[in-house]
Amino acid sequence: MESTVSPPTELDLQDALRSLRQKQGTWVEWGRHCQLLQKAGYSSQGIFEETGFEAVHQNQLIVANQVYVSMVNGGAEPELLTYFQQRGSDILYEFRILTQTDRIAAAALVIAKKLDTDDAHELARATKDFSRLVTLPDGFTSNPGDAMTYFCWKSARQQSDLPSRSRLIAKGLKFAYSETARQQLEQLLVDFSV
């Protein structure tokens, strides 16, 4: 038997507009409200005029909310969800390109390593690219942290400039998830032939 969701009432729509206008609730709720209003036929421009939320911000909130919901549905730890309920829509937006499992692992890494939006963007891209590899490189796991570490390791190996190489190694060590990935990077500190 199919469950049907009744369309939002005018009161629901007015509540959503008021919540956005007064910035009540969390960004998760704002994303849900923006999506509700758009599905009800409001244009991004109309929502902006009613609430002050620009179209680009509406999109970020809606997409980040979808990422958040996928993490909820994927069984993310309550602490992780609580952390991202209050902040981080910009970070979760970056994880839109990842699988549900990778989103959760990447979000956990953001908290553990205190990563910012730029780090999250690089992490998402590296994780996505890493997932395309046919086989895992020796010493690296499928964790997003090791994915980022791998790309730092690979770039550092191609770098002849010692300060640049050192920066890449330090960056990779920041992200390393497994001890074996860490060891792969540390090997570059002593072996300059690779």
- pLDDT attached to residue 191: 76
Full set of structural domains in the chain with CATH: 7-113 (1.10.10), 133-194 (no CATH)
Q: Which residues of the chain have pLDDT under 70?
A: 1-5, 192-194
Residue pair 28/42 in contact by the 8 Å Cβ criterion: no
Nearest to 33 by CA among 45, 6, 10, 15: 15
- Whole-angstrom CA distances from 10 to 29, 41, 47, 105, 163 are 18, 12, 15, 39, 61
